[in-house]
Homo-oligomer: A and B are copies of this chain.
Amino acid sequence: MARIVMKFGGTSVADMDRIKKVAARVKAEVDAGNEVAVVVSAMAGVTNQLIDLTRSAARLYDLREYDAVVSSGENVTAGLLALVLQDLGVAARSWQGWQIPVLTDASHGSARIEGIETEELARRLTSGEVAVVAGFQGLEPQRQRITTLGRGGSDTSAVALAAALQAERCDIFTDVDGVYTSDPRIVSRARKLDKITYEEMLEMASLGAKVLQTRSVEMAMKHGVRVQVRSSFEELPGTLVVDEDEIVEQAIVSGVTYSRDEAKITLRSVPDRPGVAASIFGPLAEAAINVDMIVQNISSKEKTTDLTFTVPRGDVARAIAVLEKHADSINHEALSAEEAVVKVSVIGVGMRSHAGVAQTMFSTLAEKGINIEVITTSEIKISVLIAEEYLELALRSLHSAYGLDKA
């Protein structure tokens, strides 16, 4: 007997048929003697509809009202799942964020969970009642108004609840059946991982492999919650996200990922003097443009430098406008932008203790004639920027080179 948290996203509860399938899975865990808390998202599409409505209501919207509107989708799903469970003979009740309560800070629209008062919830779990919790929502410190946790927030609701309830496991049911060594749509030999560390998962999430909300992984890591990513539609084990200690045979590299949301901007022949970086990145930061990779080279022209950096593709035009507005202080000779670039990364906690990981990456790409435009590294990740046309070739070559291909 164990206490577990199960979380089902929007596609898993998209209609009544799917909600009934979810209920059957929950019942199976109850029948196995487990205490179960379920966290649900809004039915697929509902939250987007509600967001569109708030956008058409006002030009600048009050995030407190935004939260009051967009949180309603989860209330519907929670009530419906409780009803279906009751119909299957399973004791269940729905819980809205304010009813538990799930306490957050006052950052409406992207609130952070500060605590969950689980006393009554835990008492009812122990008595055999399933708690069906509306995800994505909480209550601000004055306990008057509803908050929401930002997109994908139900993952964080589930992990926070698992931490507060000291659950043995937090299963995140989604439309993929686990975390893969690479994108199976591109790398046909990608394998599903049985286990992955929190750190690796964090790097994957931040690189656009959107299986889990980044914040939920941070929270799981902080509280040591064992998270399992698994399929809503199949009865297979998924991928366990756990502490490094739990992984006995750690591969050096766990995954090869990529991000297409990259564009490269190059400023040529910028005078090479102290403060030049600030003159460029200061104005971009003020415009809330997120600069990712940066590389500075010696220019062909004396006493100048060439600066290359990446921004999200949607921000290229804005970034160029900002830079041109500050052209006098930057004093560059030329500006060029390139959108047909991608970032490819290899991730693995094993690289902390193994040398040569970067060399394998560089030589593999060189062998295929792929030019590396920018490189950045962290303790457990190496990322390179390459021309987009080489993406598939690069992913497959690296996947093989690091021994990740399935048999």
Interface residues of A (CB under 8 A from B): 16, 19, 50, 53-54, 56-62, 64-66, 68-69, 71-73, 75-76, 78-80, 82-84, 86-87, 93-94, 96, 98-99, 144-146
Contact = CB atoms under 8 A, between A and B. Distances in A.
B69 A75 contact: yes
Nearest to A145: B99
Contact of A86 (B65, B71, B78, B96): B65
A54 B98 CA distance: 22
A122 B212 CA distance: 44
Query: How many copies are assembled?
Result: 2
Contacts of A144: 99
Given A53-B16, A57-B87, A68 B78 contact: yes
A87 B65 CA distance: 12
A80 B65 CA distance: 7
A392 to B, nearest CB: 43
A83 B99 contact: no
Contacts of A59: 87
B87 A58 contact: yes
A388 to B, nearest CB: 40
B76 A75 contact: no
Nearest to A60: B87
B53 A65 contact: no
Given A99-B144, A144-B99, A54 B83 contact: yes
Contact of A72 (B75, B82, B86, B99): B75
A103 to B, nearest CB: 16
A93 B64 contact: yes
A98 B78 CA distance: 18
Given A65-B86, A83-B65, A76 B53 contact: yes
A332 to B, nearest CB: 42
A99 B54 CA distance: 21
A79 B87 contact: no
Given A64-B93, A99-B144, A99-B145, A79 B83 contact: no
A57 B80 contact: yes
A76 B94 contact: no
Given A53-B76, A80-B57, A68 B96 contact: yes
Contact of A62 (B54, B68, B83, B98): B83
A69 B58 contact: no
Contact of A80 (B53, B64, B83): B53
Nearest to A98: B98
Give the most central of A54, A61, A78, A80: most B CB within 10 Å. Answer: A80
Given A83-B57, A144-B99, A50 B76 contact: yes
Given A59-B87, A99-B144, A69 B65 contact: no
A65 B92 CA distance: 10
30 contacts: A16-B56, A19-B57, A50-B76, A53-B80, A54-B83, A57-B80, A57-B84, A57-B87, A58-B83, A60-B87, A61-B86, A62-B82, A62-B83, A62-B93, A65-B80, A65-B83, A65-B93, A65-B94, A68-B75, A68-B78, A68-B79, A68-B82, A69-B80, A69-B83, A71-B75, A72-B75, A72-B76, A75-B75, A98-B98, A99-B145
